[in-house]
Amino acid sequence: MAEPGDKPSVLFVCVHNAGRSQMAAAWLAHLAGDRVEVRSAGSAPGARVNPAAVEAMAEAGIDISAETPKVLTAEAIQESDVCVTMGCGDTCPVFPGKRYLDWELDDPAGLGVEAVRAVRDEIRVLVEGLIEELVPDATA
C-alpha cells in the first residue's frame, strides 16, 4: 500500500465541471483505481452533470450520476501533481512547479449522447496515456 503522498494526484478542470472533466475523472478513477488520486472542478460550475455525459459513461459501465459540479479552488490545484485543463482558457490559475496539460476536446454541452460518445472515447485514450506516464506499472 502506498504511503500518503506517494500516489500522483490529478485535477481535471473545465468550465462547468459538468461533462469533460467529470468523464475524465471517472475514467481515471475506473482505470487506475486507487493508484492515482483524482479530482475535478470547474471555473464556473454548472448546476448538474450533463445528462448526455452521464448516459455515455453509463454505456461504458461507469456511473457518474451522483457526481456534482465543484468550484475550482487554488487549493485544489496546489494539492495536485498534474492539472489537466479542457477549454477553460485563462481562467485557471497557474502555480509554479505544477505540471499542466491542456486537452483540446469538444465541449459536450448541448450535444446528444451520440456526439458525447466520441468525446468520451477520446478522453479514455488520453487518460490511458496519462496513466502510462504516472503509474507505468498500473496497466495489466
- Active-site residue, 88 included: yes
Rounded CA Rg of the chain = 14
Catalytically annotated residue among 11, 24, 52, 88: 88
Catalytically annotated residue among 10, 11, 14, 41: 14
Cα–Cα distances in Å, from 44 out to 13, 34, 41, 57, 123?
10, 28, 9, 22, 21
100 contacts 81 by C-beta, under 8 angstroms? no
Chain centroid to CA 116: how far?
Answer: 15
134 contacts 8 by C-beta, under 8 angstroms? yes
Catalytically annotated residue among 92, 105, 131, 134: 92
- Active-site residue, 83 included: no
Q: Which three cell numbers stand for residue 26?
A: 471517472
**Which distant-in-sequence residues (6+ apart) come within 8 Å of 101 by Cβ?**
82, 83, 84, 85, 130
Which residues are part of the catalytic machinery?
Answer: 14, 88, 92
